[in-house]
């Protein structure tokens, strides 16, 4: 796309944001707009090497010689700051890399066998993913930094305050991070940097981690306490006005007010916790029910800190080194702790403030020593075995024997539900599960029943239709965010149910699809429900706004993020071939596209006849191979037009629930129905393991999240473990239109996960295809005319409703809910009389048939005389008949 075209994409191209929080409307509206509101940044001219510039070799040689001389006289070792280094650097390539020229860094002699490189500039870490020790390195890096991009050979990570917070919260200490100590203990000596850790990075890590992990938020007897083993830290926090004001004061017998005094107690000591569904639990069960008392193995310990999947079978630890690991944790546990109570209404402010003061609060729940809250007797069914990455993610949560609050990020279809259920079965206390829609609520309940031995009486659902309570002192409630967060117009039953939820202390709160929940709603949930530990689950922790950062203090740090490519390589999710198919616009469509400036441009690039044909060709090609195909279109006008023309079934917001279920069931079981068209109501949560091919014809601007969620529909393909099996994901893009820009942006998340998008510019055999639609120019012109006659609102991606609202598997709903219906757009066209009478392929299309009837009804009353004549005429006509 040309720069001009990129520059053209302005805020007016983005649909307006809408909010919706109705009491009984349970479903969360997925707001993809957050990401799209970011205007594309112009290329940074300064960093670009002018194309076609000729190289002056003699000047370069001279520069090189000068640089060498300067290096000899002033070795970089004497220089202290980055700036000084940069001033003196002058190598053959300096002018190309400019301020990214780090040739002054001294490579270690054995750098070839060291896979890590750390940028002194911004904390970015580059890992050679082809190194034999890359897997261990990866696990360590995901524990301390944020994965930025993980394609096949080179991975990029970034050290951030949040990532260091997460590292500390899973038990790593400052020196572990700087010195890669955890790994050195495992004798992976070659595992380290090609260059020494730059001073700037060491200072950054020290500065950030100094305060991290020192303060905890603890819920005891339905009261919140800020707890620390460093009294001076609590004193420091109390100097802050927000925290001081949130501190609870108690009124004494003599009416004097006294701040809740510091309590001193012993922190609970770590024991042996076994996560259900793991191999270790199976071993434990074999031992005739004897409690597992064996000391954790080196691999277990390592896994609990940096999380290497399946442990490290090739590495052995000396007992001394192993003891070191234990000592690190027990030392911390033995310390005395001090605390002050805070007002639960101000909990969110305190958390936020602590975050700002660089003392983020860790939330840990010592559930095994909680004698106040009743135990919930649930366990995974004996046949349930969790997968290694599920175990790794859970070991991050339960690594020190308590439940740490935080977020687990697993790819779509990787089994987040089972991770949540296993966590609930480990904690064994009352649990509240919050999801984005009522259908998800039913799915969660069904999954609990499928994987665990929970009884019908122990699990209840709270939706607009059902307001159940569990029997007994403890149990599970599954509900939606909206049901819990909304405060207006509650029914009497809802109010009573809310009293039930808010009056008790929950051991565990499970937050599904955390990335889509609006921050305000989250805040209300977190402040109204008192829970000891929280676990957020998501596949795509991406948003361009600061709401992801909010999750850090509202739930906790990211505890684990799986690598999509690794899971695909191990057969847990399907291998997917991704392709972008470039479809040139036909001259008629392109002419109109350039002429029109409103949203109908979008309709033009969706309805491009070449795209239509590509879609038809790909459907046929994949149906013939035995694939089941889902075609996604955000635009409902295009969805219906494509599906009707190609003779396929379709589902969008206006399709009734029974009809949806029937279509989905045919798609799953009938060999006659191999392709269905879905609007964005099918983006998330829909579980169709039969689907093996996706074709995307229209999508929501540049939403990376939507692209990933859609890909997720085929990652769970049943046939994924067949030899040589590949699922297919095609994005059809009209060439030289805005769609190309959006498409590139959309793919970024998946590219960062290691997916490669091939560009297809020609589909072999398309021309020879029988019954190819819109083959003739006349047909194409007719199509463009019908698009032009469509109202502007047909181009609206927000509207998923041509007659109704709803969601498919539940998570997505129309964003049009509550919106005032838009008036059909008017347009003025220029043309000859011949064109208007249909002589130039223009046809008259009746858009609103009922309008005429309405008009007739609304006609002004006629004069009595005329009315009488009319009556007589009508009577005569009747008599004649
Ligand atoms: N340990 C396991 N053993 C067997 N099957 C599993 C296991 N874990 C997950 N599955 C299966 O994998 C499929 C996907 O699981 P699930 O629906 O929980 O994925 P998800 O991560 O929530 O996906 P999405 O983000 O797309 O909703 C389900 O059919 C589930 O039964």
Per-residue pLDDT reduced to its tens digit, 151-205: 888 888 888 877 888 887 777 777 666 655 444 443 333 445 566 666 777 777 7
Structure tokens at 524: 């209300």
Residue whose CA is at the smallest distance from ligand 1 atom 25: 412
**DSSP secondary structure letters along 101-131:** --TTSPPPTTGGG--EEE-TTT-EEEEETTS
Sheet holding 459-462, edge to edge: 459-462, 476-480, 431-435, 505-511, 530-538, 406-409, 558-561
Query: Full-prediction pTM beyond 0.80?
Result: no
Interhelix angle 161-169/199-211, nearest 10 degrees:
60
Query: Does 539 sit in the ligand 1 pocket, CB within 6 Å?
Result: yes
What does the pLDDT average to over 463-475? 86
pLDDT at 418: 94
Please provide residue 182's backbone torsions phi and psi, each rounded to the nearest 5 degrees. Answer: -55, -35
Sign of CA dihedral 699, 27, 536, 443: negative
Per-residue pLDDT reduced to its tens digit, 270-310: 446 677 776 666 666 565 554 444 444 434 433 444 443 33
| Higher per-residue confidence, 520 vs 773 | 773
DSSP state of 560: E
Q: How far apart are CA 139 and CA 155, in angstroms?
A: 12
| Higher per-residue confidence, 258 vs 742 | 742
Specify the ligand 1 atom closest to the Cα of 687: 17
Q: How far is CA 81 from CA 68, 85, 193, 475, in A?
A: 20, 7, 20, 59
Least confident piece of the model among 163-177, 531-545, 751-765: 163-177
CB contact at 8 A, 274 and 291:
no
Specify the ligand 1 atom closest to the Cα of 713: 26
CA of 821 to the centre of ligand 1 (A): 39
Sheet holding 116-118, edge to edge: 116-118, 124-128, 154-158, 146-149
Q: How far apart are CA 228 and CA 235, in angstroms?
A: 10
Partnered with residue 509 across adjacent β-strands are 432, 534
For the chain, the straight-line distance linking the first and the last C-alpha, in angstroms and rounded, comes to 68
| Higher per-residue confidence, 488 vs 729 | 729
| 796 SS3 class | coil
Query: Does 682 sit in the ligand 1 pocket, CB within 6 Å?
Result: no
ipTM computed for the complex: 0.98
CA of 761 to the centre of ligand 1 (A): 35
Neighbours of 673 (CB within 10 A): 16
Residue 725, C-beta contacts closer than 8 angstroms, at least 6 positions apart? 574, 575, 717, 719
Q: What distance lies between CA 631 and its chain's CA centroid? A: 22
Partnered with residue 694 across adjacent β-strands are 630, 729
CA of 416 to the centre of ligand 1 (A): 6
Query: Does 387 sit in the ligand 1 pocket, CB within 6 Å?
Result: yes
Mean pLDDT comparison of 108-112, 224-228, 374-378, 461-465, highest-scoring range: 374-378
CB contact at 8 A, 72 and 88:
no
């Amino acid at each position: 796309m040309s720069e001009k075209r990129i520059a053209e994409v302005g805020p007016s191209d983005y649909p307006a944001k809408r909010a919706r929080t109705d009491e009984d409307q349970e479903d969360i509206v997925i707001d993809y707009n957050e990401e799209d509101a970011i205007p594309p940044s112009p290329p940074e001219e300064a960093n670009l090497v002018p194309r076609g510039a000729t190289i002056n070799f003699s000047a370069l040689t001279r520069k090189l010689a000068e640089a060498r001389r300067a290096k000899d006289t002033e070795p970089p070792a004497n220089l202290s700051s980055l700036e000084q280094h940069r001033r003196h650097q002058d190598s053959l390539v300096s002018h190309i890399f400019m301020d990214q020229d780090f040739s002054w860094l001294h490579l270690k002699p054995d750098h070839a066998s060291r896979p890590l490189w750390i940028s002194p500039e911004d904390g970015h870490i580059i890992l050679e993913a082809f190194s034999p020790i890359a897997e261990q390195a990866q696990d360590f890096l995901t524990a301390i930094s944020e994965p930025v991009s993980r394609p096949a050979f080179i991975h990029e990570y970034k050290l951030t305050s949040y990532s260091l917070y997460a590292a500390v919260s899973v038990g790593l200490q400052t020196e572990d991070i700087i010195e890669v100590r955890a790994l050195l203990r495992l004798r992976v000596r070659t595992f380290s940097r090609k260059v020494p850790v730059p001073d700037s990075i060491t200072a950054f890590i020290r500065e950030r981690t100094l305060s991290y992990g020192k303060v905890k938020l603890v819920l005891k007897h339905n009261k919140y306490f800020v707890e620390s083993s460093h009294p001076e830290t609590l004193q420091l926090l109390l100097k802050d006005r927000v925290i001081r004001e949130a501190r609870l004061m108690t009124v004494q017998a003599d009416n004097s007010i006294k701040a809740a005094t510091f309590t001193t107690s012993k922190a609970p000591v770590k024991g042996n916790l076994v996560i259900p569904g793991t191999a270790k639990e199976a071993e434990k069960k074999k031992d005739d029910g004897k409690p597992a008392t064996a000391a954790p193995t080196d691999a277990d310990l390592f896994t609990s800190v940096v999380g290497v999947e399946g442990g490290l079978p090739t590495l052995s630890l000396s007992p001394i080194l192993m003891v070191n690991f234990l000592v690190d944790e027990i030392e911390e546990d033995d310390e005395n702790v001090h605390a002050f109570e805070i007002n639960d209404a101000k909990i969110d402010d305190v958390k936020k403030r602590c975050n700002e003061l660089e003392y983020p609060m860790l939330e840990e729940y010592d559930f095994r020593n909680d004698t106040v809250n009743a135990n919930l007797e649930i366990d995974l069914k004996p046949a349930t075995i969790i997968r290694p990455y599920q175990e790794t993610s859970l070991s991050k949560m339960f690594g020190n024997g308590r439940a740490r609050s935080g977020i687990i990020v697993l790819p779509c279809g990787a089994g987040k539900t089972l991770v949540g259920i296993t966590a609930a079965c480990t904690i064994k206390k009352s649990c509240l599960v919050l999801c984005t829609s009522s259908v998800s609520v039913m799915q969660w309940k069904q999954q609990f029943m499928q994987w665990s031995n929970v009884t019908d009486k122990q699990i209840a659902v709270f939706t607009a239709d059902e307001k159940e309570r569990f029997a007994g002192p403890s149990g599970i409630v599954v509900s939606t965010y909206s049901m819990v967060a909304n405060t207006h117009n509650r029914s009497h039953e809802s109010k009573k149910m809310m009293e039930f939820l808010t009056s008790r202390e929950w051991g565990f709160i499970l937050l599904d699809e955390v990335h889509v929940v609006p921050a305000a709603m989250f805040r209300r949930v977190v402040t109204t429900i008192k829970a000891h530990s929280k676990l957020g689950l998501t596949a795509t922790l991406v948003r361009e706004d600061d709401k992801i950062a909010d999750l850090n203090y509202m739930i906790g740090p990211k505890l684990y993020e799986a690598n999509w490519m690794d899971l695909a390589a191990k057969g847990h999710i399907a291998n997917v071939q991704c392709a972008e198919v470039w479809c040139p616009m036909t001259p008629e469509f392109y002419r109109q596209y350039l002429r029109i400036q409103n949203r109908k441009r979008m309709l033009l690039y969706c309805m491009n006849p070449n795209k239509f044909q590509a879609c038809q060709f790909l459907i046929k090609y994949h149906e013939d191979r035995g694939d089941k195909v889902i075609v996604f279109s955000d635009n409902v006008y295009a969805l219906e037009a494509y599906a009707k023309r190609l003779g396929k079934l379709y589902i969008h917001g206006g399709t009734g629930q029974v009809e949806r279920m029937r279509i989905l069931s045919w798609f799953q079981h009938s060999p006659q129905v191999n392709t269905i068209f879905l609007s964005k109501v099918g983006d998330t949560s829909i579980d169709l393991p039969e689907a093996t091919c996706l074709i995307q014809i229209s999508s929501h601007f540049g939403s990376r999240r939507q692209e990933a969620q859609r890909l997720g529909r085929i990652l769970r393909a049943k046939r994924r473990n067949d030899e040589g099996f590949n699922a297919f994901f095609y994005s059809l893009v009209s060439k030289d239109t805005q769609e190309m820009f959006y498409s590139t942006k959309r793919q970024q998340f998946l590219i960062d996960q290691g997916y490669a998008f091939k560009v297809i510019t020609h589909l072999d055999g398309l021309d020879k295809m029988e019954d190819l639609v819109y083959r003739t120019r006349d047909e194409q012109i007719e199509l463009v005319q019908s698009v032009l006659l469509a109202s502007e609102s047909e181009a609206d991606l927000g509207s998923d409703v041509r007659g109704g609202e709803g969601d498919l598997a539940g998570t997505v709903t129309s964003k049009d809910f509550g919106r005032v219906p838009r008036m059909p757009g008017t347009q003025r066209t220029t043309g000859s009389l011949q064109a208007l009478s249909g002589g130039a392929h223009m046809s008259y299309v009746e858009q609103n048939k009922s309008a005429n009837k309405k008009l007739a009804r609304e006609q002004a009353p006629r004069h009595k005389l005329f009315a009488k004549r009319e009556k007589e005429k009508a009577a005569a006509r009747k008599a004649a008949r």
